[in-house]
């Protein structure tokens, strides 16, 4: 069965369970008569099931131009079917101003006898060619941190509109171990940390005092010194407050980043697009 079908099947199952639980708790109870609920500090913990994961990467000498990008999934056999832990939340200084944060980490590994040759760098920074038939063991880590500020310029009992700015930090590391005809091929590892400022918008709408939906988007592009980068992120979700301090929810997320780093030793190009289903439990204090 194709990877994306497996991911959607798993995501649909998780979503069904969450909606069933929400329906159970949706039955009116005297314990929920109080409409005022805590909302100063929120922390949401959950799983992020990857329904789509597309990436391209190249590592070449700085004078060779953009180089030829490879797909880690297709060329190197990277496994992209997984569910990862995700953390989100915010802290409200007051009704108008808040600090937001988010983190998740995707670790991929793969082993494959490559069917197409491609260029990489050796430990001395020289271009080498990984030949057809070489066995390549790959490890790729994609680590995302986000922190930001939001200003709620419009807020009622039903609707909240916010704008803000923040910092998106992506750490990408790629390790290749290659072997051809029983002989090891020296390759270099690369680890890049990319800080990108972002502009944010947010919308939250309460259908009832306990149930509502939300949308948040972040976007930016930057060229500075040795960096070129662009970033876009969006999350659409819904949440039901099952108890005064606990909420259950699910959301759809999409994340796209493109980065080029050029130093005196190498030129590294990386692009990545992720989309998936998030299921979470949120605590309020």
Choose the most confident range, by mean pLDDT, from 66-70, 105-109, 182-186: 105-109
- Give me the residue label for tokens 């439990």: 281
Judge contact between 95 and 150, C-beta under 8 A: no
CATH superfamily of 3-284: OMPT-like (2.40.128.90)
**pLDDT recorded at residue 10:** 46
How far apart CA 142 and CA 174 sit, in angstroms, is: 9
Q: What digits encode the pLDDT tens for the residues 113-164?
A: 999 898 898 888 888 889 999 999 999 998 999 999 999 999 998 999 999 9
User: In the structure, how many helices (H) and strands (E) does the chain have?
Assistant: 2, 13
Q: Give domain limits for the chain.
A: 3-284
**pLDDT recorded at residue 126:** 85
Position with higher pLDDT, 33 vs 159: 159
Mean pLDDT score of the chain, rounded to an integer?
Answer: 84
How far apart CA 207 and CA 221 sit, in angstroms, is: 35
- Give me the residue label for tokens 């976007």: 219
Q: Which two tokens stand for residue 31?
A: 């314990």
Across the range 56-82, mean pLDDT stands at: 83
Q: What digits encode the pLDDT tens for the residues 200-257?
A: 999 999 999 999 999 999 998 888 778 888 999 999 999 999 999 999 999 999 999 9
Percent of the chain with pLDDT over 70: 86
How far apart CA 260 and CA 109 sit, in angstroms, is: 23
**pLDDT recorded at residue 67:** 61
* pLDDT at position 283 over 70: yes
- Give me the residue label for tokens 């939300």: 214
Judge contact between 201 and 165, C-beta under 8 A: no
**pLDDT recorded at residue 7:** 42
Q: Which two tokens stand for residue 136?
A: 């390549």
Report CA torsion sign: 207, 208, 209, 212.
Answer: negative
**pLDDT recorded at residue 8:** 41
**pLDDT recorded at residue 66:** 56
Give the H or E element holding residue 55: strand 41-60
How far apart CA 130 and CA 132 sit, in angstroms, is: 7
* pLDDT at position 3 over 70: no
**pLDDT recorded at residue 37:** 63
């Amino acid at each position: 069965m194709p990877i994306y079908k497996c991911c959607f099947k798993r995501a649909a199952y998780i979503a069904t369970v969450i909606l069933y639980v929400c329906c159970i708790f949706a039955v009116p109870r005297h314990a929920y008569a109080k409409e005022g609920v805590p909302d100063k500090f929120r922390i949401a913990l959950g799983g992020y099931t990857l329904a789509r994961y597309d990436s391209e990467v190249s590592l070449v000498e700085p004078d060779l131009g953009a180089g030829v990008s490879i797909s880690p999934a297709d060329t190197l056999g990277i496994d992209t079917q997984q569910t990862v832990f995700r953390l989100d939340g915010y802290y409200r200084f007051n009704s108008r101003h808040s600090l937001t944060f988010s983190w998740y980490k995707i670790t991929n590994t793969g082993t494959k006898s490559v069917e197409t040759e491609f260029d990489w760098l050796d430990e001395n920074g020289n271009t080498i060619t990984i030949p057809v038939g070489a066995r390549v063991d790959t490890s790729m880590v994609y680590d995302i941190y986000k922190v930001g500020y939001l200003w709620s310029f419009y807020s009622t009992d039903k609707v909240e509109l916010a704008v803000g700015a923040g910092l998106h930090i992506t750490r990408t590391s790629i390790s290749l171990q290659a072997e051809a005809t029983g002989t090891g091929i020296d390759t270099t590892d690369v680890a890049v940390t990319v800080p990108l400022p972002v502009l944010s918008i947010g919308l939250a709408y309460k259908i009832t005092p306990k149930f509502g939906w939300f949308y948040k988007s972040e976007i930016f592009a930057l060229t500075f010194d040795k960096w070129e980068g662009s970033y876009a992120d969006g999350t659409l979700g819904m949440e039901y407050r099952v108890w005064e301090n606990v909420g259950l929810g699910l959301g759809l997320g999409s994340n796209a980043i493109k980065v080029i780093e050029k130093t005196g030793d190498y030129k590294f190009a990386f692009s990545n697009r992720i989309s998936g289903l998030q299921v979470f439990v949120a605590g309020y204090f």
